[in-house]
Amino acid sequence: MSAVTMINCCLILGACLLSSQAVWSQRVRVEPEVTAYPNGSVNLRCEFTNSGITKLTQVSWMFERVEGDRHNIAVFHPQYGASFPNKGNFDGRVSFTQNSLENPSIRIDKLRMADAGRYICEYATYPSGNEQGTTTLIMLAKPRNSATVIPVRASSSEVVVASCEAAQGKPEATISWITTIAGRYNHTSVPERDGTVTVKSEYRMIPTPAENGKEITCVVNQRTQVEPRPFPLKLVVEYPPTVTIEGYDNNWYMGRTDAVLTCQADANPAPTDVSWTVASGQLPPSVRVDQNRLLVRKVDETVNTTFVCEVKNSLGSGKKELVAMVIESTEDPSSAGVMAGAILGSFLAFILVSALVTVLVMRSRRHQHRYSGDGEQGTYGNKTRLFGGKKANKNGAGASNNGPIYTYRESEPGALTEKCNDFPHITGSTPSAHDILLSGEMNEAKRRKFDALNDSLEDEEEDERYDRFSGLPPSYQIHGHEDECTPYLDDDMESQRDGSIISRTAIYV
C-alpha cells in the first residue's frame, strides 16, 4: 500500500469520527444565545433527544466566565436528586424547572451583570460517554442617559459648554452631537466593576454672546434602546450688558410733547439695575424715568443735552450715550405736508386766474377795434371827433366854427350817440358798406348786413355821390345828404388863431 493511499484512508476515518461526534452532540438541544437584564430572571433550556439505547446517568450545568475556567452550578441524578455545589455566586439563585434527565432546564433569579458568560449542559451517558450543549448568556444593561449644558462666560478660549453621558450600559453606548455651532467633542469609556460601561462625551467651543441660546442636541444609541435617544439643549453663555437707546428720531422741536427714549440691554444673566443720567448733571425737570424708559413731557432747551443709560447685572455693567438736539421750531412738522399742499394749490389757482384774465383782456381789445353790427348807425371807434362849420352861405363861406364836435357811438348799452338830425347845421356822414368791407375788420354776417344797407341807399339816391376828403383812405369817406345836413366842401379850409389851417370838415379817429 502506497503512502498516498494511507493518507487518504486516514482523512476519511477522521471525517467519519467528526461526523459521528456532530451527530452525538446534536442530541443535546440548547439555545445558542440568551439575553437578560440585571435583577431579572432567565431560563436556560436543555434536553436530550433521540436517546435510543443510550442510557442517561446524570446531567450537570457548568458556568464558564472566561475560557477554560469552569464551575459546576447544578447537578441532577435520578437517584440522588438535585445538587448545587457552587455556594458562592449562585447560592439560592439557581433551580431546576423539571426534575428529569430528559429536560434538565434551570432558572437563574436575581441576575447580575457578572452572570454573563457560557453555560454548558453536559450529559453522562452509557456507552456513548459525555455529551453537551453550550448557551451563551448575554447580560444587557440599559444605560442611564443624561445630558446637561454647562454655563460659561464669554471668552476667547475653548471650554466645555455641554456634556452627555450613558452610564452603566452594556453593551457600550455610542454618543453623537447635532448642532450648527462650530466646535468639537471627545468620548471617554469607563468599565464598571459589574461589567457595564459608562460612556461620556463633552462638546467644546469658544463661547461668544452670539452663541447664547443656540441649540445643540446629544444623541445616545445603545442596543437596549428601541431607537436613538435625543437630548436637545440650549447653550448658556453669560456676558455683561450691551446697551442701546431707541426712540430718538432727530425731530425734537420746541414744544413737542410725549417724546420717549427706551434703554435696551442685551445681557445674561438678566439686568438687575437700569439708571438714567445726563452728562451735565441732574435730569431736566421736564423728563420722567419709568424703569428703562425716559419720558419727555415737553421738549424745551433743557433737554438739549446728552442722555446716559447704564445697565448692570451680576457680571458687570454697560452704558450708552445719546446726544439730543432741539430744533428751534414751533410748528408741528406733521402739518408741513398740509401747508405745502395749500401753497401749491394757491400757486396753481393763481396761474389759472392769470391765464383767464389775459384771455378776457385780449378778447376785450379785439372787440374795441371791431365795427358795430347791431343795425344802428356804424361807429369808427369809441369816440369820433368831428370838426365842421355851419351851413355854407351863397358865397360858399359859412360862419366860422373852430370848436370840435364830439360824437359818441358806443356798442355798449348806455353809450351817448349824437346824430346829424340833432344838429341841423352840421353835415352828417355815414361810411358806405363797401368802405367798411374794405376795412377787413368785420365778420361775414356783419358784411352782408352792410351790403344790404348800401344797396338800399343806392336805389333811393341814385344820382347822389359821396365826396371824399383828400388823402383819406376809402374807409373814411363822408356821404352827404342835402335834405338832412349841408355837405362839407373839400376845400373848405379855415385859418386858426394859432396860425394853422385846418379843414372845416374832418374826422379824427
What pLDDT score does 17 carry? 38
Distance CA 423, CA 406 (A): 12
The better pLDDT of the pair 113, 432 is held by 113
SS3 475: helix
281 pLDDT above the threshold of 60 = yes
What pLDDT score does 102 carry? 84
Distance CA 118, CA 105 (A): 15
Beta bridge partners of 506: 387
The share of the chain scoring above pLDDT 70, in percent, equals 64
Question: What dotted CATH number matches 144-235?
Answer: 2.60.40.10
Q: Sorting pLDDT into bands at 50, 70 and 90, what band is 447? A: low
Q: Which three cell numbers stand for residue 32?
A: 445558542
57 pLDDT above the threshold of 60 = yes
Tens-digit pLDDT profile for residues 415-435: 444 444 444 444 444 555 445
Distance CA 398, CA 102 (A): 185
What pLDDT score does 480 carry? 43
**106-108 and 42-44 beta bridge pairing:** antiparallel
472 pLDDT above the threshold of 50 = no
The better pLDDT of the pair 425, 113 is held by 113
Question: What dotted CATH number matches 28-139?
Answer: 2.60.40.10
Average pLDDT over residues 80-103: 86
Nearest to 479 by CA among 448, 418, 439, 434: 434
**What secondary structure does DSSP assign to 294-350, as a single string?**
EEEEE--GGG-SEEEEEEEETTEEEEEEEE--EE---S-GGGHHHHHHHHHHHHHHH
Q: What residue ranges of the chain are covered by domains with CATH 2.60.40.10? A: 28-139, 144-235, 241-327
Backbone angles phi, psi at 66, to 5 degrees: -125, 160
Tens-digit pLDDT profile for residues 184-237: 999 999 999 888 999 999 999 999 999 999 999 999 999 999 999 999 999 999
What average pLDDT does the chain have? 76
What pLDDT score does 226 carry? 92
**What secondary structure does DSSP assign to 373-392, as a single string?**
-SSS---SSSEEEEE--S--
What pLDDT score does 404 carry? 44
Q: CB-based contacts of 157: which residues, under 8 Å, 6+ apart?
A: 206
The CATH number of 241-327, from 3.40.50.720, 1.10.287.470, 2.60.40.10, 3.30.1490.190, is 2.60.40.10
Average pLDDT over residues 170-190: 94
Q: Sorting pLDDT into bands at 50, 70 and 90, what band is 473? A: very low
Tens-digit pLDDT profile for residues 343-396: 887 888 889 888 888 888 887 776 665 544 444 444 444 433 333 444 434 444
Q: CB-based contacts of 383: which residues, under 8 Å, 6+ apart?
A: 406, 407, 408, 409
What pLDDT score does 23 carry? 39
Angle of CA points 494, 499, 500, to nearest 5° = 55
Find out whether 288 and 302 touch, Cβ atoms under 8 Å: no
